[in-house]
Each structure stands twice: as structure tokens, then as C-alpha cells.
Amino acid sequence: MTAAAKDRIRIALPENSMRYEQDSEWCLIDSQDGWREIRFHDYAELYTITGLYERVFYEILQCSSPSTVRTMLVDAMRRAGADIGRLRVLDFGAGNGIMAEELVKAGVSGVVGVDILPEARDAAMRDRPDVYEDYHVVDMAALTEDEHAALARYRFTGMTSVAALGFGDAPPDAFRESYNLVEDGGWIAFTIKDTFLSDQDPSGFSALIKSAISDGTLEVHASETYQHRIATTGDPLHYKAIIGVKKSDLPS
């Protein structure tokens, strides 16, 4: 995106004294058609405007998740003596390709994106046309036999999921299906908001992830709580990044 194009998008955030749940945050944009409100989790709408997603989340709200995950994955694989150049990654909740771009920089052999939104694929092909080997628009929680077979043929040796889990955007069943498409011995790297790992978590992610770690389904090589981004109030939003090796499938 050119500097001139970015300058045409005017963005206004709520007063920082106004507090919202993370999935209810919003901004106003003026892209020459008048001001309108967009919720941050209305990803389809965000992706349709070139550069808006990066402007809001990375320039204004200082999102650090993709670079954090790349650094942690590279370091963990190096310590384990594993070759990242042999990694073929399923990028779950791929969005417009920011995580895939980080993976390509790190030297992976290939990345295949999956997302439930056709707008996400369109944005990835527009903004980062060279980072994906392929990109599938599918509901990972309800794959057809043909969709599952199409993904299984890649024989994934890695999976990433960055800022995609929870809030109803990607349920535990979708994460389970993606995880199980990775071959045993493959590398798993994902982030999740810290509250989804609490004992009070109603989403199902806390039980799923804690069980996978405790029973050895996922062998953790690195784990870190970090600042994912700031909220519209300026307060930090903390996520947990987990890097590990898949030992077996997650049970249904």
C-alpha cells in the first residue's frame, strides 16, 4: 500500500476513558465515503479496505503477535536441532497473511492458509500474493470429506494460529481439526488470550489445551505471556504464546 493510499484513510478511536470488551472494540473510519463505525472483530469489513487492518492493529494498537511467534518458533526449533526449512505449515485463521509473511522470512518450505472468510483470502491474495502455497476458505469445525482430503494431501509438519482463537471466531473443534492435520512430530505454534486459559474459561479452550499438555499430546518447548497489543484505552492486552511438538491427535 502506498503512503498516499494510507493517508486517505482517516481513523478515529473511542475516548480512552471508554472501556469495551476486546471483541466489542471499534473505530470510525473515513475513506472518502463519510465516517462509519467498524467493530474490530468484523474482519470481513476490515479486510475489504487495503491497509486498514495493518493501520489499526499494527500501527495504532501495536500488535506484536506474529513477530513474537516467529521468534519463539525459530528459537525453539534451533534449540531442538530441528530444521525450519523442512516445515510445511498450516496457517489456521490465516487472515490477510501477516503470520505467513513472518514464516516465509524464517525460511519455512511452504505455507497453506485456511480461513472461514472469503474476504480474508481475497485480502491475502491482494496484499501478500507470494506468501501462500495455497489458501482454502473452509469452516475447520465442519469440514466436508473433500475439504479434509484436500488439506490432508499437504502432509503438514507444522501449524500456526495467531490471534485467531476464542471470542467465537474459531471454536475448539476448529483448532482440534487443524491440529490433527499435522503429522506426529510436527511443530505447533499458537497464541491465545490469557483469560481463555483460566479455570473460569467457558469456551472450552482452557480444558482442551491443558489436557493436551498434561497428557503429552502436545510437548511444550516454549511458553510466554506477552503483550499482544494495546486496547483502545491504552491498556495492555496479554496473550500466551505456546510452541510445542505434536505427539498425537487431540481426541474428539
Task: Report the first-to-last Cα separation within the chain, whole angstroms.
Answer: 43
Structurally, the chain folds into a number of domains equal to: 2
The letter for the amino acid at 173 is D
CATH of the domain at 217: 3.40.50.150
List the beta bridge partners of residue 137: 115
Give me the chain's average pLDDT, please: 93
Pairing status of strand 236-246 against strand 110-115: unpaired
Q: Which helix (H) or strand (E) holds 114?
A: strand 110-115
Domain boundary among the residues 60, 81, 103 is at 60
The CA–CA distances, whole Å, from 43 to 57, 96, 133 equal 12, 10, 23
Q: Are residue 122 and residue 100 in the same domain, yes or no?
A: yes
pLDDT in tens, the chain (252 residues): 334 444 567 899 988 888 888 888 999 998 777 888 999 989 999 999 999 999 999 999 999 999 999 999 999 999 999 999 999 999 999 999 999 999 999 999 999 999 999 999 999 999 999 999 999 999 999 999 999 999 999 999 999 999 999 887 789 999 999 999 999 999 999 999 998 999 888 889 999 999 999 999 999 999 999 999 999 999 999 999 999 999 999 998
Domain boundary among the residues 12, 35, 60 is at 60
Per the listing, cell 497453506 goes with 112
Answer positive or negative: Cα dihedral of 158, 225, 116, 98. Answer: negative
Q: Is 55 domain-assigned?
A: yes
Domain boundary among the residues 20, 37, 60 is at 60
Quick one: 52 exposed, middle or buried, by C-beta within 10 A (0-12, 13-18, 19+)?
buried
The DSSP-derived string for 141-208 is TS--HHHHHHHHTT-EEEEEE-S-SBTTTB-HHHHHHHHHTEEEEEEEEEEEEGGGGSTT--SSHHHH
3-state class of 84 per DSSP? helix
User: Are the C-beta atoms of 94 and 117 separated by less than 8 Å?
Assistant: no
Q: How many Å apart are CA 131 and CA 134, to the nearest integer?
A: 9
Q: Is 181 domain-assigned?
A: yes
pLDDT tens digit sequence for 177-206:
999 999 999 999 999 999 899 988 888 999
Q: Are residue 48 and residue 126 in the same domain, yes or no?
A: no
Q: Are residue 56 and residue 77 in the same domain, yes or no?
A: no
Q: Are residue 164 and residue 219 in the same domain, yes or no?
A: yes
Q: Is 99 domain-assigned?
A: yes
User: Are the C-beta atoms of 31 and 9 separated by less than 8 Å?
Assistant: yes
Q: Are residue 112 and residue 221 in the same domain, yes or no?
A: yes
- Residue 168 domain boundaries: 65-246
Q: How many Å apart are CA 240 and CA 189, to the nearest integer?
A: 11
